[in-house]
Amino acid sequence: MQRRTQRPRIADVAREAGVSKTAVSFAFNSPERLSAETAVRIRGIATSLGYRPHPVARLLTQRQTMTLGVLTPQALAVIFSNPFFALFSEGVANAAEDLGYELHFISPLHGSLALAVGRATVDGVVAIGLSGDHPEIQQIRATGLPMVLVDSDDLPEHSSVVVDDEAGARAAAEHLLELGHRDILIVAVEGPALTTGERGRTGVTERRLRGYRTALRAAGVELGDDWVVAARASIDGGTAAFQDAWSRGLRPTAVLAMSDAIAIGAMRAARELGLSLPGDLSVVGFDDVDLAAHVDPPLTTVHQPIRQKGADAVRLLLIEVEQRAANQPEHLRLETRLIVRGSTGPAPHQRQEVPAA
């Protein structure tokens, strides 16, 4: 039976480099305590030997994992199918890497987000899409772990990053109203509370819905509750939501979708029903993901700085990690703007009857 090769130890690196074990530890954990030349030389020898500091030992000696958590309410397979989250993660990852931190995505473990949070060993958490009163947010607050909330309501002791959802939604609705649309379907993103059997709404959904309704009411348009539907934040979710609304007899001339993925799905469903875009149906999204400019027709949408949102969240989190009690929480609200493309046009003067699916 072949013996396993013994893993290189800190003593091996120290002997090869001609330094103490303490100096090797400094090279990885506190390089500022050595000359730059010495630290680089030690780390180079460690690499050649295949030595890496044990993460648990590092945690015990430094009381830091050099890892940041990204807390999401849904399974990673669902989250990463949403192009918004891919861009947000890019912003988070770039900022964390620049500052020497690794990332750990925390999603429900065996269906339990609380279990996943309890097992995560991180220095701080970026929580996205979870309300301030969510049980897992309260769980993190109770531990005193540094945390930044993204797309949520403010908590007094934690920094947060949001965009001006209400202004963006209002601009989207005003654009359709200026084009003469009055029969407008609003497709919201399902909130985390749906997993508990309640039709809950996140702060983002509430703010965007408020922006839509403010513009519509100012134009004398009142939409019934059946004109506001929920969908999974995916292309398939948008397709299913529009098909369901159509099967219930709703005949919108325009759609206000709370994400680009939903908007693109609604466009697909409309085409399958024989509708032309934007001749029969205009569609406005929200996010301005990269795909939005490349669908046919290109999607009119509300731009938000998604990558910047992720990077700002990391920056604020590291302030909390490093300053702890001395930190003064910061609440950022980033601007949005309407991007008009080919998916919106004037409302039809005469409604053409299209057979229900």
Pick the CATH number of 67-162+305-334 from 3.40.50.300, 3.30.70.940, 3.40.50.2300, 3.40.190.10: 3.40.50.2300
Check residue 112 and give its pLDDT.
62
Return the residue matching tokens 């699916």: 357
Check residue 140 and give its pLDDT.
82
Binned average pLDDT, 10 residues per bin, the chain of 357 residues: 62 92 79 81 86 56 74 78 90 90 78 67 88 81 87 87 97 98 94 37 84 97 93 93 97 97 97 97 97 97 97 93 76 97 88 45
DSSP state of 54: -
Diameter over CA atoms, the chain? 86
Check residue 135 and give its pLDDT.
81
Check residue 78 and give its pLDDT.
74
Check residue 324 and give its pLDDT.
65
Is it true that 67-162+305-334 and 165-304 share their CATH fold?
yes
CA 281/CA 344 separation, integer angstroms: 8
Q: Which residues are paired to 104 by β-bridges? A: 69
**Other Cβ atoms closer than 10 A to 135:** 12
Q: Nearest CA to 357 among 207, 239, 253? A: 239
Q: Residues 95, 101, 104, 105: what is their CA dihedral angle, to the nearest 10 degrees?
A: -10
- 150 within 8 A of 313, measured Cβ to Cβ: yes
Check residue 200 and give its pLDDT.
41
108: cis peptide before it, omega within 30°?
A: no
The pairing of strands 102-106 and 124-128 is unpaired
CA 341/CA 82 separation, integer angstroms: 21
278: cis peptide before it, omega within 30°?
A: yes
CA 244/CA 201 separation, integer angstroms: 20
Check residue 54 and give its pLDDT.
55
Residue 5 CB-density burial (10 A; 0-12 exposed, 13-18 middle, 19+ buried): exposed
For the chain, the structural domain boundaries read 67-162+305-334, 165-304
Check residue 93 and give its pLDDT.
93
Check residue 352 and give its pLDDT.
47
Alpha-carbon distances of 192 from 61, 201, 254, 258, rounded to whole Å: 38, 8, 27, 15
Q: Strands across the sheet with 147-150, in order?
A: 102-106, 67-71, 124-128, 147-150, 159-163, 331-334
Check residue 110 and give its pLDDT.
54
Pick the CATH number of 165-304 from 3.40.50.2300, 3.20.20.70, 3.40.50.10860, 3.90.79.10: 3.40.50.2300
Return the residue matching tokens 């001339």: 253
CA 243/CA 182 separation, integer angstroms: 20
